[in-house]
Amino acid sequence: MITVNDRAYRLPHKPTVVVCVDGCEPEYIAQAVAHGRMPWLAQVLAEGTALVADCVIPSFTNPNNLSIVTGAPPSVHGICGNYLFDVASGCEVMMNDPKWLRAPTLLAALTDAGCSVAVITAKDKLRKLLGHGMKGICFSAERADDTTIDEHGISGVLDLVGLPLPSVYSAALSEFVFAAGVQLMARAKGRFGRPDVMYLSTTDYVQHKHAPGTEGADAFYAMMDDYLGRLDAMGCVIALTADHGMNAKTRMDGRPDVIYLQDVLDSWLGARTARVILPITDPYVVHHGALGSFATVYLPSGVDAAALVLRLQGLRGIESVRMRADAAAHFELPADRIGDVVVVSERFTVIGTSAARHDLSALDAPLRSHGGVSEQRVPLIVNRAIHDIDAQRRWRNFDAFDLALNHAQ
Ligand code: ZN
Ligand code: ZN
């Protein structure tokens, strides 16, 4: 038994795999199952445990992956977006360095307790955060050609997996994660052998482009089903969840439905009086144009934040506007790492900074994105029947390890 962030976990008896399917709106699974493309999962849904859980807000990748591996919300682990506005320096800084992490991960605690652990991510941006303090294998598909025993706990990944290095903007990047997971699990037990616990985290390239039930989406889920079925056949306990959902964010003409919040605030308060931060912004913006349904706003002293909240609430397409303390309590966020005001937009709407700062020319499909409360519902599925489960409680994606280790062995 180990305790991490005030939650107790049993050590696994069976090889255990937790999968975070990036951008997996539950509808993707429903459509692929209905189309007969996920035979393994259809059986798990019938005989195992199938819940719908809430992810953490903002419904972005890094905060949720860190919640899943710490078993705690961002108020505990500190990672509340890809970007942080450092008020002292006036700079926007990336939050993908482990120095921003405020809590230990369960993965590190498992290796301390003698378990062998493997972490495979699609993009390299998550690798250092997830692998912080952990002694096992941790690498990304994006940089699978460049792993060393010292840094990643493994070398020769391309030979092991037998697939070429995938492009960072491709479905193949996620497939590589599953293929590598199956190869690691197929090894004999022992040093550098089969992991006791594996965490697989994909990328939402496909979900940003393809709606549930379309061929592009169904083909992705069929691929995933095949690999998960192979892990199941090896005797793995598998818990599947997602970092967030995904929705179309378009107007009737197919163009993105954007509230350019910096432009709005500039016109209300004067140019650059307020500072809008979009924590979705990261170096990989091609598929979403840095547009999501969550923003935080920093205000200089002297601006009446309460009055501004009321005025913002009146904007079409805005779902909720909260002052810092309210937002921190309601969304379980670290109050010192969000702005004075937190703005969430509705299901079909995204928030931008200034129109001039978003290059939408690279969007080659109608915008689909996330970040808001409208993308909070995610699957939480375990390939074992769990009988003592309360289907009425509010399950979270960061209960995945609890279910896998404490209830499904
Ligand atoms: Zn994501
Ligand atoms: Zn995304």
Confidence (pLDDT) at 116: 96
Structure tokens at 238: 């598998």
- Looking at residues 50-75, what average pLDDT do you find? 98
Confidence (pLDDT) at 252: 95
pLDDT at 129 over 60: yes
Q: What is the tens place of the pLDDT at every residue in 307-346? A: 999 999 999 999 999 999 999 999 999 999 999 999 999 9
Structure tokens at 394: 């509010």
Ligand 1 mean position, distance from CA 371 (Å): 9
Q: Which ligand is nearest to the CA of 294?
A: 2
Q: Which ligand is nearest to the CA of 244?
A: 1
C-alpha atoms less than 13 angstroms from C-alpha of 378 in its C-beta half-sphere: 37
Ligand 1 mean position, distance from CA 59 (Å): 8
User: In whole angstroms, how far apart are CA 50 and each of 96, 227, 245, 391, 394?
Assistant: 32, 19, 16, 9, 14
Ligand 1 mean position, distance from CA 205 (Å): 9
Positions of CATH 3.40.720.10 in the chain:
2-246+371-407
- Looking at residues 158-177, what average pLDDT do you find? 95
For every residue of 30-87, DSSP letters joined together read HHHHHTT--HHHHHHHHHSEEEEEE-PSS--HHHHHHHHHHTS-HHHH---SSEEEET
Q: Which ligand is nearest to the CA of 60?
A: 1
Ligand 2 mean position, distance from CA 113 (Å): 34
Ligand 1 mean position, distance from CA 304 (Å): 34
Ligand 1 mean position, distance from CA 108 (Å): 22
- Looking at residues 345-361, what average pLDDT do you find? 92
Residue entry with tokens 């090896």: 234
What's at 187, amino acid-wise?
A: R
Ligand 2 mean position, distance from CA 65 (Å): 12
* Measured distance CA(153)–CA(156) in Å, rounded: 11
List, in sequence order, every residue forming a beta bridge with 320; answer none if it has no partner.
344
Ligand 2 mean position, distance from CA 409 (Å): 32
Confidence (pLDDT) at 388: 85
- DSSP strands (E only) in 131-277: 137-140, 197-201, 237-241, 247-248, 258-260, 275-277
pLDDT at 192 over 80: no
Average pLDDT, the chain: 95
Ligand 2 mean position, distance from CA 369 (Å): 6
Ligand 1 mean position, distance from CA 124 (Å): 13
Positions of CATH 3.30.1360.110 in the chain:
258-367
Ligand 2 mean position, distance from CA 207 (Å): 8
pLDDT grade, residue 92 (50/70/90)? confident
Confirm or reject CATH 3.30.1360.110 for domain 258-367, answering yes or no: yes
Q: Is the peptide bond before 58 cis (omega within 30 degrees of 0)?
A: yes
- Superfamily name and number for 2-246+371-407: Alkaline Phosphatase, subunit A (3.40.720.10)
Ligand 2 mean position, distance from CA 257 (Å): 17
Ligand 2 mean position, distance from CA 370 (Å): 6
What's at 63, amino acid-wise?
A: P
CB 135 within 8 A of CB 153: yes
Ligand 2 mean position, distance from CA 112 (Å): 32
Give the H/E segment covering residue 297: strand 294-298
Confidence (pLDDT) at 283: 58
What's at 342, amino acid-wise?
A: V
Confidence (pLDDT) at 94: 87
The lowest-confidence range among 91-95, 159-163, 166-170, 181-185 is 91-95
pLDDT grade, residue 223 (50/70/90)? very high
pLDDT at 26 over 90: yes
CB 121 within 8 A of CB 132: no
* Measured distance CA(388)–CA(385) in Å, rounded: 9
Looking at the chain, the whole-number percentage of residues with pLDDT higher than 70 is: 98
- Looking at residues 36-65, what average pLDDT do you find? 98
Q: Which ligand is nearest to the CA of 22?
A: 1
Ligand 1 mean position, distance from CA 308 (Å): 30
Confidence (pLDDT) at 81: 92
pLDDT at 286 over 60: no
Q: Which ligand is nearest to the CA of 285?
A: 2
Ligand 1 mean position, distance from CA 217 (Å): 15
Closest by Cα among 58, 87, 92, 90 to 75: 58
Confidence (pLDDT) at 289: 77
Ligand 2 mean position, distance from CA 81 (Å): 12
Q: Which ligand is nearest to the CA of 293?
A: 2
Ligand 2 mean position, distance from CA 120 (Å): 18
Confidence (pLDDT) at 362: 78
Q: Which ligand is nearest to the CA of 368?
A: 2
What's at 205, amino acid-wise?
A: Y
- Terminal C-alpha separation, the chain: 13
List, in sequence order, every residue forming a beta bridge with 197; answer none if it has no partner.
16, 117
pLDDT at 364 over 90: no
Prediction pTM value: 0.97
Confidence (pLDDT) at 270: 96
Ligand 2 mean position, distance from CA 23 (Å): 6
User: In whole angstroms, how far apart are CA 209 and each of 162, 171, 329, 363?
Assistant: 27, 11, 33, 9
Ligand 1 mean position, distance from CA 71 (Å): 17
CB 188 within 8 A of CB 3: no
Confidence (pLDDT) at 88: 83
What's at 124, amino acid-wise?
A: D
- Looking at residues 133-161, what average pLDDT do you find? 96
Which residues make up the environment of ion ligand 2, defined by Cβ < 5 Å?
204
